[in-house]
Amino acid sequence: MSIAHFRRTTAEALLADGTTVVIRPLGPEDREAVLDLHANRMSDESRRLRFFGVSRNAPRLAADRLCGEQGERLLSLGAWAGDELIGEADCEIPEDRPQTGELALVVADRWQRRGAATLLLEHLIHAARGRGVRVFEADTLAGNRGVHKVFAGLGLPVHRRLDRGEIRVRVPLDESDEHYRAAVDERGRRADVASLGALLRPGSVAVVGVSRRAGSVGRTVLAKIRQGGFPGPAMAVNPRAGSIDGEPVYPSVGALPAVPDLAVLAVPAPAVAGVAEECGRAGVRALVVLASGLGAEDSRRLVHACREHSMRLVGPNSLGIAQTDPAVRLDAEFGGAFPLPGTAGVAVQSGGVGIALLKRLAWLGIGVSSFVSLGDKYDVSGNDLLQWWEGDGRTDLALLHLESFGGPRAFARTARRVTRRLPVLTVDAGRSAAGRRGAASHTAAAATPTVVREALFRQAGITATRSIGELVDTAALLHAQPLPDPRGAVAVVSNAGGIGILAADALADAGLILPELSGELEELLPEGASARNPVDTTAAVGPAELARLLEKVELSRAVDALLVCLVPTALATDPAHDPVRALLDGPARRRIPVAAVLPDQEVPVRHLTCADGNRLPVYSDTVAAARALAHARDRARWLAEPVSEDAEAPGCDLRTARSLVAGFLTANPAGGWLDPVGTADLLESHGLPLTTSVWARDERTAVIAARAMRRLGHEGAVALKAYWPGQVHKSAAGAVRTGLRTESEVRSAYREFEESFGAELAGAVVQPMAAPGVELLAGVVQDRVFGPLVLLGMGGTATEVLDDRVARLAPLTERDLTTMVADLRGAPLLSGYPGAPAVDLPAVRSVLARLSRLAADVPELVEADLNPVIARPDGAVCVDARVRLEPRPSYDPYLRRLRRPAAAEEG
C-alpha cells in the first residue's frame, strides 16, 4: 500500500468513553497483532460466538484471511489504542454479489462496551460504500446479544431472519439516511463531551515549566489555579526540583505523586513535544499548550503524542482555560482576571481578543461558564466547545471568535443543532483580503473567503457580527431581553426629535421596519408631540406620561420591539422630571424586547437594572442598538423556521454518473475538463436541464443537426459553438454564433470557425436558440477546506459586472433552496415585479437541488459552471456548461474522525 493511500485511509476517532483510537486498514505487518487479538484477548465465550464453536485453528485462519494483501474483495479495518489492536471489522464482497458485504466484527474483551464495534462499523460502512457495497450481511448466533445490540443501535434499518439458531442479519446502507446521520452525530457528541471532561472538569492539574522567577508564565498560571480555589491537587513540575512558596516542585511528570488529568505546558516551544510525550506515557488525559512558534517536526510529534496516548489538546499558542463551575473553579490562564461565574461560554482563537472580550463581559455583568483560548487549534476547536456548552447545563449563550475553520462541515452541522437551543455569536474575522492575510499568518490555518463564511453562518443559524463591539452589543441584548417576533417591527420613542430620526434611520439600515403608529397615542402626549413612528414626545414629556406611553406601545401589538432614546434636558434637572428615571422605574421585562439609547452615556453599552429587577441594555449609539435588534430579529426568524430536510432531487442516476467519471479519470488520470458530450451526459444523469445539444465533428453534421432540429418542431434559429480542448471563454474567443436562421448561415458560421481556429477546432455544438429570460449562473465549486459549495448568481455575459451571487455548503436543505434565491440582490427579477412575470422558481430550485446531489454523488467534481441557466415563467434551461473533474478520495462529512491540523500533516 502506498504511503499516500495509507494516510488517506487512516483516521483517528473517539470511543464512547472519550478514548482516542486510530482506525486503519489491516495489512501483512499486522498479522501478529490480529493473531494475538483472536487467540489471546477474547474469552472462549466470545470466540464461540464469533466462530460458531471453538476451533483451535480459527485465529490463525482469521489472521491469514485479514492480513493478506487487501484485494478488491476484502475490506478489513483495525482499531488501535496506542500499540494495542483493540478490535477489527471486515467485510468480504462475494464475486457474484458485488453489492453485498459479508460482515465480521471482533472487539477484545477488555475493550467491549466502549463503542469500539460501532465506530469500526461506521468506518467500514464508509469504506464499503466507496466500493459500491449497498448492503451488509452477517451470520450471528442468536445468543450473541452484544452484536445484536451494536446493530440495533447503529441507526440503520436492520432486518433479521432466524435460521436454525443462527440469525442472518441484513443492513441496507442507504446513503441518504438522515436517521443514521443523526445517530452518528449523537454518538460523536457524547464521545466528544466524554473526552473533554479531563480538560474542562479535571480532578487534578499539573503545571509543567514552573520557574522560580516571579511573573513567569508557569508560575503565574500555577498561582492563579491555587488562588482560584481549584479543589483538587495542583502540582508543579520543573527539572530543577525543589520547592516554591513552600510547595514541592517535582522534577518530571513521571515523578508526580499522582497522575494529573490535565497538564498545562508552560515550557518553551522546543520542549513541548518531549513533555507531551512524557505526559502521554504517564497517563495524562488533556494538555493545554501555551507556547507558540512550534517547528513542523515538533508540531507533528505533539499531535502524534496526543492521539497515541488519548489526550485532548488545547493550543498551542493558547492563553489557557477557565472553568467557573463552583465544583471545579479552575483558573488556568495568564490573560486577565478569573471571569465571574455565569452562563456565557467563550472560546477565542486569539488570546488578545479573549482578554478584551472577558473584560467587556465582566463590565456588563455577564458571567462566564467556561473560557477557552483555542490558539492554533491543533485539536480542540470551536466545534468541541459548542458540543460541551450544549450539554453542560450552565451555558445559555455562546461567544466564539474564529479566524479559521478546521472542520467546517462538522462545525456547520453542530452549530445548526446548537443554535436551536442557545444563541451562538461570532466575530467574523478575516472578511477582507487584508484581514485574511493577517489571519493566515496569525493562526497558520486556511483563511476563508467571505461568501463561504457567510454561507456557513447563514446555514448554521450563527449570529455573525463584524467587531468585538458589535458582538458585545448583541450579547447585551440577547442576554437580558426576550427575542422579538420574527417580523421585526420596531417603535422608536424619543424625547428629542433628532435622536429619534437617527434611530429610525439606523433601524431601517439594519433591515428592520418602523410601522406608522395609530393616532391614539397622541392624546397621551404633550402639545406639539408626534405620535407617529418615531414617536417624538418632546422634552416636555413628564415621567408619568412617558410610562403610560411605553405601556401603550408595548401592548399595542403594532410592534415587536421598542427602542427608547432619551437625552437629559434642562427640564430634567428636577429629578421628578428625569425621563431616564421614569424608564428605570418601569419594568425591563415587557411583552416585547426593549433597548435604550442614551446618547450622552460615556460607555458604548451597559446594563441598567429596572424596577422589576431585570436588566435593560443601554447603548450610547443608535447604530449599535439597531444592529443588536436586527440580530435578535434574525435569530427569531431562524427559530421560527422548521428544521429543514435535505433538498430532494428525484431520479438522479448515481450509477451512470459514477461510471462516466471513472471512465474519464482512467483516460485522464490527472483529471481535467469534460468535453461537450461528457458534460451533457453527466449533467443529464442528474436531471439538470441542459438544452438539446448535438455534437458535430464537421460542417456537414452541423448542418444536418440544424435541419433535424427544425424537423423535430423547433421553429426558431439555432446556436453554433466551436469547441477545442482547453477552451475557456467562448464568446470572447469568437466561438459562439447565435440566432442562425438558415442552413447557409450554419454552414458559413462553421467555415468561419475553421478559418479562425484552424487545426485546433475539434468540432462544434449545435443547439436550438432558447427563448430569452433571466440569465442565471448556477454551479458547484470544491473548497479545499469546506468541501463542495453550490452557487447561484445573476449570470450570462454580465456575470462579472453584476457580481451578485450566493453560496451554500452542500448538501443543501429545502430551506437553502429558498433562501439562496431570496438572498440575491437581483431576486425581484426572479420573483416578479410590475410589468414582469415571475420565473419558474421551482425549476430554478430544482437546478440547485440537483447540483447539490451531483456534488455529493461525484466527489471528483471540482468545478461545474452552468452559465447561463435561462429562467423563464415556463421553466429553466441551461445553454452552456463546463465541468472539471479531478481524482479525489470520496469524502464522507458524516464519518466520525478527529481533525488533522495542517501544521501536523506530513511534509
Q: Which residues bind Mg ion (CB under 5 A)?
A: 867, 880
- Binding partner at 656 among ligand ADP, Mg ion, none, C-beta below 5 to 8 Å by kind: none
> Cβ of residue 689: shortest distance to ligand ADP, in angstroms?
12
Do residues 95 and 73 touch, judged by C-beta distance below 8 A? yes
Site for ligand ADP in 765-784 (CB under 6 A): 767, 769-770, 775
d(CA 183, CA 189): 10
Shortest distance, position 832 Cβ to Mg ion, whole Å: 25
723-752 footprint of ligand ADP as x/- string (CB under 6 A): ------xxx----x-x--------------
List 301, 721, 850, 853, residue binding ligand ADP (CB under 6 A): 721
Binding mask 778-817 for ligand ADP (x = CB under 6 A): ------------------xx--------------------
Q: Least separation, in Å, of the C-beta of 693 and ligand ADP? A: 8
| Closer residue to ligand ADP (CB): 576 or 733 | 733
Q: How far is the CB of 734 from ligand ADP (least distance, A)?
A: 10
Nearest position to Mg ion, beta carbon: 880
- Which residue, 323 or 767, has its beta carbon nearer to ligand ADP? 767
Rounded to the nearest 10 degrees, how much is the dihedral formed by the CA atoms of 657, 662, 663, 667?
A: 140
Minimum Å gap between C-beta 738 and ligand ADP is: 5
Least spacing, CB of residue 701 vs ligand ADP, in Å: 18
Helix, strand or coil for residue 490? strand
Q: Which CB, 560 or 880, lies closer to Mg ion?
A: 880
Rounded to a whole number of angstroms, the CA Rg of the chain reads: 32
How long, in residues, is the chain?
907
* Of 518 and 731, CB closest to ligand ADP: 731
Question: Mutual orientation of helices 654-667 and 841-857 as an angle, nearest 10°?
Answer: 50
List the interface residues with ligand ADP, window 839-868 (CB under 6 A): 867-868
Number of chain positions touching ligand ADP (CB under 6 A): 18
Which residue's CB is nearer to Mg ion, number 99 or number 797?
A: 797
> Which amino acid would we find at residue 827?
A
218 versus 768: smaller Cβ distance to Mg ion = 768
3-state secondary structure 244-300: ECCEEEECCHHHCCCCCCEEEECCCHHHHHHHHHHHHHHCCCEEEECCCCCCHHHHH
Q: Does 872 bind ligand ADP (CB under 6 A)?
A: no
Min. distance of Cβ 821 from ligand ADP in angstroms?
A: 20
**CB nearer ligand ADP, residue 354 or residue 868:** 868
Residues 658-717 that bind ligand ADP (CB under 6 A): 691
Shortest Cβ distance from residue 727 to ligand ADP (Å)? 8
Please report which helix (H) or strand (E) contains residue 206, including its range. strand 205-208
CA 453 to chain centre: 9
DSSP state of 608: E
State the binding partner of 16 from Mg ion, ligand ADP, none, CB within 5 to 8 A by kind.
Answer: none
Reduced to 3 states (helix: H, G, I; strand: E, B; else coil), residue 739 is: strand
Residue 191 sits at the vertex; the CA angle it makes with 173 and 460, to the nearest 5 degrees, is: 75
| Residues 211/249, Cβ–Cβ less than 8 Å | no
Q: Which residues contact 326 (CB under 8 A, 6 or more apart)?
A: 341
**In this chain, which of 492, 660, 719, 844 binds ligand ADP, going by CB under 6 A?**
719
In the bound state with ligand ADP, the residue whose beta carbon lies nearer, of 213 and 729, is 729
Cα separation, 289 vs 165, in Å, equals 55
- Chosen from ligand ADP, Mg ion, none, partner binding at 796 (C-beta under 5 to 8 Å by type): ligand ADP
What is d(CA 247, CA 826) in angstroms, rounded to the nearest whole number? 69
Q: How far is residue 138 CA from its own chain's centroid?
A: 35
Shortest Å distance, C-beta 450 to ligand ADP: 25
Measure the CA–CA gap between 357 and 472, rounded to whole angstroms: 8
Q: Scanning residues 880 to 899, which ones bind ligand ADP (CB under 6 A)?
A: 880
Answer with the entry of Mg ion, ligand ADP, none that 721 interacts with (C-beta below 5 to 8 A by kind).
ligand ADP
- Out of ligand ADP, Mg ion, none, which partner does residue 797 contact, by CB within 5 to 8 A per kind? ligand ADP
22: partner contacted, choices Mg ion, ligand ADP, none (Cβ within 5-8 A by kind): none
Helices (H), 427-467: 433-443, 450-460
Q: Which is nearer to Mg ion, 726 or 907 (CB)?
A: 726
Nearer to ligand ADP, 62 or 770 (CB): 770
CB closer to ligand ADP out of 55 and 756: 756
Partner in contact with 87, chosen from ligand ADP, Mg ion, none, beta carbon below 5 to 8 Å by kind: none
C-beta separation of 904 from 300 below 8 A: yes
Helix then strand then coil, in percent of the chain rounded to 5, is 40, 25, 35
Q: What minimum distance in Å lies between the beta carbon of 678 and ligand ADP?
A: 16
Residues 38, 105: Cα–Cα separation, whole Å: 11
Please say which residue, 565 or 879, places its beta carbon nearer to Mg ion. Answer: 879
The pair phi, psi for residue 872, each rounded to 5°, is -135, 170
Q: Which is nearer to Mg ion, 24 or 805 (CB)?
A: 805
How many Cα atoms occupy the beta-carbon half-sphere of 238 within 13 Å?
19
As to burial, measured by CB atoms within 10 angstroms (0-12 exposed, 13-18 middle, 19+ buried), residue 486 is middle
Q: Which does 622 bind (CB under 5 to 8 A by kind): ligand ADP, Mg ion, none?
A: none
Q: Kindly tell me which of 76 and 693 has the beta carbon lying closer to ligand ADP.
A: 693
Query: Which residue from 41, 68, 50, 70 is spatially nearest to 138, judged by alpha carbons?
Result: 50
Closest approach of Cβ 851 to Mg ion, in Å? 16
Out of ligand ADP, Mg ion, none, what residue 729 binds, judged by CB under 5 to 8 A for its kind, is: ligand ADP
**Smallest distance from Mg ion to CB 749, Å:** 18
Residues pairing with 807 in the sheet: 791
- Burial-class residue 773 by CB neighbours within 10 Å (0-12, 13-18, 19+): buried
Tell me which of Mg ion, ligand ADP, none is bound by residue 93, counting a contact when its beta carbon lies within the kind-specific cut-off of 5 to 8 angstroms.
none
> What's the CA gap between 221 and 186, in Å, rounded?
35
Residue 769 binding partner per list ligand ADP, Mg ion, none, with a CB distance cut-off of 5 to 8 Å that depends on partner kind: ligand ADP
Distances (CA, A) of 656 to 99, 703, 756, 803: 16, 30, 36, 35
CB of residue 779 to Mg ion, shortest distance in Å:
11
Closest CB to ligand ADP among residues 273, 720: 720
Residue 731 binding: pick among Mg ion, ligand ADP, none (C-beta 5-8 Å cut-off by kind): ligand ADP
Say if strands 135-141 and 159-163 run parallel, antiparallel, or are unpaired.
unpaired
Q: Tell how far CA 654 is from the center of its chain.
A: 26
Q: Which of 239, 716 has the CB closer to ligand ADP?
A: 716
Buried b (16+ CB within 10 A) or exposed e, 189-214: bbbbbbbbbbbbbbbbbbbbbbbeee
Binding pattern to ligand ADP, positions 543-562, x when CB under 6 A?
--------------------
Residue 661 binds which of ligand ADP, Mg ion, none (CB < 5-8 A, kind-dependent): none
CA distance 579 to 568: 7
Looking at the DSSP bridge assignments, the partners of residue 439 are none
Q: Which of 62, 289, 879, 885 binds ligand ADP (CB under 6 A)?
A: 879
Q: Residue 335's binding partner, choosing from Mg ion, ligand ADP, none, with beta-carbon cut-off 5 to 8 A by kind?
A: none
Q: Where along the sequence are the contacts to ligand ADP (CB under 6 A)?
A: 691, 719, 721, 729-731, 736, 738, 767, 769-770, 775, 796-797, 867-868, 879-880
